[in-house]
Structure 1
Amino acid sequence: MSRLNRTSHPAPTHPEKILQFGTGVLLRGLPDYLVQKANEAGQFNGSIVVVKSTGSQTDEFTGQDNLYTVAVRGVQQGQNVAETTVISAISRVLAAPTQWDEILRLARNPALQIIISNTTEVGLNYVEESIFQRPPESFPAKLTAFLYERFRSVGGSKAKGLVVIPTELVTDNGLKLREAVEKLATFNELGKLFTKWLKFHVRFCNSLVDRIVTRPTDEARQALEAETGYEDELLTFTEPYHLWAIEGDDRVRQMLSFASDATPQIIIDEDINFYKERKLRVLNGTHTLTMPLGYLLGLETVADEMQHADMSRFVESLMLDEIVPTVPDYGTPGMDKAAIRQFALDVLDRFRNPYLDHLLLNISLQETAKMQARNVATLQRYYDQFNTVPKHMALGFAAYLLFMKAVREEEGQFIGEITASGGVISYPIRDEKAAYFYGDWQTVDVKEASTVHTFVKSVLSDAAIWQADLSTLPGFVDAVAENLNRLLNEGAEATLRQHMTA
């Protein structure tokens, strides 16, 4: 079987309008996919130059003439979706360690309009360094060097300014990146004229990306290659749902001509907080509150949770009855309670997608910080509205406390254990608070309910973790402690069954 290439799949060439820092599946499955669709519709007529920041090997792209396949699989509003698209929007992939001069030459390209990035979550952090290294180390320094080269080549022209859209999952990612670039400009003494051009003619946009994109399993890869008749080392699987919300004005809309009335999945608005809050609370918050219980049941993926009768009902009830009512709405069509509920129903479809292996253990990374960021405000809002214990949140929080119970430490890694399918499964607790919980669990006698209650109250009252004293919420300590006692002494299956029939 031959490898995907432009001989077997001819594709048009377009002017290079986008510079992209990052080669990962999220960029391939969302922004690059949307640019491809716009090109096919005659709405953009632009290609993407990709920068690989680490490593000098780009063979996985060049070996396929920079083509790759996006397979969209899943269920959307009750309908099965199966779409396969060959993406030809990438013109070149350049390795920063060995092709930095070529990357800087691109800054002189008058057709260039947009810069997109997806580095690590710490990739937007300011690092004090020279931008004149070849290449600079950090992503903000690379970007500053590129923008400075652009400024020098266009003489500070307003017409040759750029739109910069980071897609990292960081709050106010555009503002954070702008701050890092401005600090680097000052440290490197790039001058007042550059600083002025940067301020007025380079627009840094906060953005939100929402699409689950994965690499395929071996079985899925083999099945798709048999269907397409070619091999693809960059094969990308994704769900039907996708959203890219970008904070911008009319100038941004003009530059991002791949966004139009025909692409409602791309939202350009001067305020995207509604979309960020909706995703954070409904999708991310549900993941964080349900992951521990699902894993304690011996399940591996989100789709497994949705195939488990009691767990599926728990996820749905938690989301629709306790989270959705607390999400602030703007009272306008598309940003009201109806839009929040429809989003939740779409999320439930996404959770049920059998084609995506969304591992629960991957969701568990830094679970404590996620619980604080995603669910504390939801919990407080629920009390403000209903003045009673949210029973599903209480069980989710109890399961989280049990998930954080390490049985041993191995070379600095805390290890938890569950009993499932007749055997014992060990798992890593990848959380900055793992040592904290390991110490606190030593005070608990699982057969003594009073020690469990004391432990729960101690954790919930720790304002250093939650930025609030959750023990003051009426009845919440008692409800969490009761659920935790049941989990410890009756097991996850029996506890969940009783919970859903109560």
Structure 2
Amino acid sequence: MKRLSLQTLPDLAPQVRRPAYDPRATTTGIVHLGVGAFHRAHQAVYLDDLLAGDPQWAIAGASLRRADMRDALAAQDNLFTVAVRSGEGTTLRVVGSLRAIHVAPENPEALLAAMCDPAVRIVSLTVTEKGYCHDPATGDLDPAHPDIAADLTRPRAPTSSPGLLAEALRRRREAGIVPFTVMPCDNLPENGPTVHRIVSQYAALIDGGLARFVENDVAFAGTMVDRIVPATSEADIAEVSAQLGAEDAWPVMTEPFTQWVIEDRFPTGRPDFASVGAEMVADVEPFERMKLRMLNGSHSTLAYLGYLAGYETVSQTMADAHFERLIRGLMTEEVMPTLTVPGADLGAYRDALIRRFNNPALKHRTWQIAMDGSQKLPQRLLGTVRDRLAAGAPVDRLALGVAAWMRYVTGTDEKGTAIDVRDPMADRLKAIGAAAGRDAPRLAAAYLGVEEIFGRDLAEHQGFVRPVTAALAALLDRGAAATVSDYGRVAA
């Protein structure tokens, strides 16, 4: 079978959607840090739609860790397939908006040169929560983070996202080139202001003048992004390639739903995002909070409990009526009362999420969602917890999600089998679990004492400590399925 490429585009299966433009005729206007499955199924698709009418906004991507994505797509002229799966079947489209992929550890200079191109007016990011090298509990830069410590020893050749942004902005300022707008597309609360603060704090460690420039003269456009994108399996690659009529080394799988809400803060120019379905707003924070708390908070809760109960995917977990009732109750009773979103129907959004979670064609693994929980919990669950506690309201279902994370990161499942916990703090969390043993009060107190996750307030608030400890005791004694059954009965 021939490989997907510009040359083989005309030979693809007739039902496959192709770029409505010549990718070779586009120019790069956006550099994107963190080219992964989500970016390729989300932002790259919007830009693919847009390039047909405005060819100056192609993407130069960058990997901050590995070369595997670059190596997979280089032989395909950076084309790739987006497979949209639903209960009605799978549709394929080939995306051509990605013009190049740089690998920061191999050649940071080439990436910085791309970021300093005057034609580049936006640098966007999907580096995951941990890629910002910050303290999730405070939202501030962690100067002791290994990537930051390394960059500070070689600030002209950085490889972290804060280091790359600061150095590129320094070079543009020195050359008299207007700064690009920074557009984070990760699940951070107030991601625009948060990343602005992180980069400013990093710059301050390099040069006071640069810090003032970042603080006063660089725009940071906050966003809310939403599309479920499972990891691509070998079976997915084989299936897509067969339907495509050409070999695609790394397609992406996703759902029909997609959403992109963007703060309109682009003083040096931007594409017409609204023309391809993005929502341009003055303040993205209410939408971001809605998504983080309702979708991502529910997803994490499902991931930990579902994995412990033996379910491999989200849809399998949701097929258990007790889990669906739990998640509906979590959103309705504990999350929605903390949200005010202009123009949004929270009940309709909840119902849409329930339908999306139930999509059997989208095999989103609970283990994948469970990754990096120490970075995700503060944004996805603990902000809601704090708002509920401040209102004197119960947090039973939220506490169950947190307790499930605690049970998961001990590193051993309900059958005594080791869990492959992927988390920046995995070793420390496993050691805490080993030291505390299966004594729920002791184990809960030990995990709540991790200030980088819980701060100091939650470990001392009995309105949180009590339900977390009770939920953890139930999970240890009875297991996830039986515990969820009890909680599900009281769900709305």
Shift of 1:67: 0.8
Distance 1:489 1:203, change over 3 A: closer
- Corresponding residue number in structure 1 for 2:142: none
Q: Aligned to 1:216, what secondary structure does the other structure show? A: coil
- Corresponding residue number in structure 2 for 1:447: none
Amino acid at match of 1:468: D
Shift of 1:5: 0.7
CA distance in 2, matches of 1:123, 1:295: 25
Counterparts of 1:30-429 in structure 2, within 5 Å, are 30-40=42-52, 42-43=53-54, 45-54=56-65, 58-74=70-86, 80=88, 82-96=90-104, 103=111, 106=114, 109-119=117-127, 121-125=129-133, 126=148, 127-132=151-156, 135-153=157-175, 155-156=176-177, 160-175=178-193, 177-179=195-197, 182=200, 202-249=218-265, 251=266, 255-263=269-277, 266-324=278-336, 326-330=337-341, 332-334=342-344, 338=345, 340-367=346-373, 370-379=376-385, 381-382=387-388, 389=394, 391-393=396-398, 395-396=400-401, 399-403=404-408, 406=410, 415-419=411-415, 425-428=417-420
Is the contact made by 2:298 and 2:330 (CA closer than 8 Å) also made in structure 1? yes
- Corresponding residue number in structure 2 for 1:410: none
Q: Aligned to 1:205, what secondary structure does the other structure show? A: coil
Is the contact made by 1:14 and 1:47 (CA closer than 8 Å) also made in structure 2? yes
CA distance in 2, matches of 1:197, 1:234: 40
Is the contact made by 2:187 and 2:292 (CA closer than 8 Å) also made in structure 1? no
CA distance in 1, matches of 2:488, 2:269: 51
What TM-score do the two structures reach when normalised by structure 2?
0.77
Q: Aligned to 2:82, what secondary structure does the other structure show? A: strand
Structure with the largest fraction of strand: 1
Q: Aligned to 1:73, what secondary structure does the other structure show? A: strand
Distance 1:73 1:350, change over 3 A: same
CA distance in 2, matches of 1:384, 1:52: 41
Amino acid at match of 2:220: F
What TM-score do the two structures reach when normalised by structure 1?
0.76
Answering whether residue 483 of structure 2 is matched by residue 468 of structure 1, we say: no
Alpha-carbon RMSD across the aligned residues, in angstroms, is: 3.8
Per-residue displacement from partner, 1:453-490 (whole Å, max 9, x unpaired)?
A: x558856986954643577656983x666655555554
Flag the structure with larger Rg: 1
Structure 1, unmatched stretches of 5+, are 407-414, 445-451
Amino acid at match of 1:2: K
Is the contact made by 2:82 and 2:254 (CA closer than 8 Å) also made in structure 1? yes
Amino acid at match of 2:360: P
Amino acid at match of 2:370: S
CA distance in 1, matches of 2:205, 2:480: 55
Shift of 1:152: 4.8
Distance 1:8 1:323, change over 3 A: same
Identical-pair percentage: 24
Amino acid at match of 1:270: A
CA distance in 2, matches of 1:315, 1:136: 42
Q: Aligned to 2:243, what secondary structure does the other structure show? A: helix
Distance 1:435 1:278, change over 3 A: same
Amino acid at match of 1:5: S
Amino acid at match of 2:258: H
Q: Aligned to 2:7, what secondary structure does the other structure show? A: coil
Amino acid at match of 1:68: F
Amino acid at match of 1:117: L
Q: Aligned to 1:426, what secondary structure does the other structure show? A: coil
Distance 1:459 1:319, change over 3 A: farther
Is the contact made by 2:325 and 2:489 (CA closer than 8 Å) also made in structure 1? no
Shift of 1:428: 4.2
Amino acid at match of 1:291: A
Per-residue displacement from partner, 1:317-365 (whole Å, max 9, x unpaired)?
A: 32233322x23204x323xxx2x22222222222122233332233334
Shift of 1:233: 0.9
Is the contact made by 2:179 and 2:218 (CA closer than 8 Å) also made in structure 1? yes
CA distance in 1, matches of 2:33, 2:256: 25
Is the contact made by 1:21 and 1:118 (CA closer than 8 Å) also made in structure 2? yes
Per-residue displacement from partner, 1:196-239 (whole Å, max 9, x unpaired)?
A: 87566542223333222234222222222221101101211122
Is the contact made by 2:231 and 2:368 (CA closer than 8 Å) also made in structure 1? no
CA distance in 1, matches of 2:296, 2:124: 23
Shift of 1:300: 1.8
CA distance in 1, matches of 2:196, 2:464: 45
Q: Aligned to 1:321, what secondary structure does the other structure show? A: helix
Which deviates more, 233-242 or 488-497? 488-497
Distance 1:392 1:99, change over 3 A: closer
CA distance in 2, matches of 1:380, 1:232: 46
Amino acid at match of 1:209: V
Is the contact made by 1:305 and 1:311 (CA closer than 8 Å) also made in structure 2? yes
CA distance in 1, matches of 2:206, 2:478: 62
Relative contact order, higher structure (CA 8 A, sep 6+): 2
CA distance in 1, matches of 2:363, 2:105: 33
- Corresponding residue number in structure 2 for 1:412: none
CA distance in 2, matches of 1:171, 1:475: 21
Distance 1:283 1:185, change over 3 A: closer
Shift of 1:275: 1.6
Shift of 1:296: 2.8
Shift of 1:87: 0.8
Shift of 1:165: 1.4
Per-residue displacement from partner, 1:301-329 (whole Å, max 9, x unpaired)?
A: 212111223222222232233322x2320
CA distance in 1, matches of 2:366, 2:226: 18
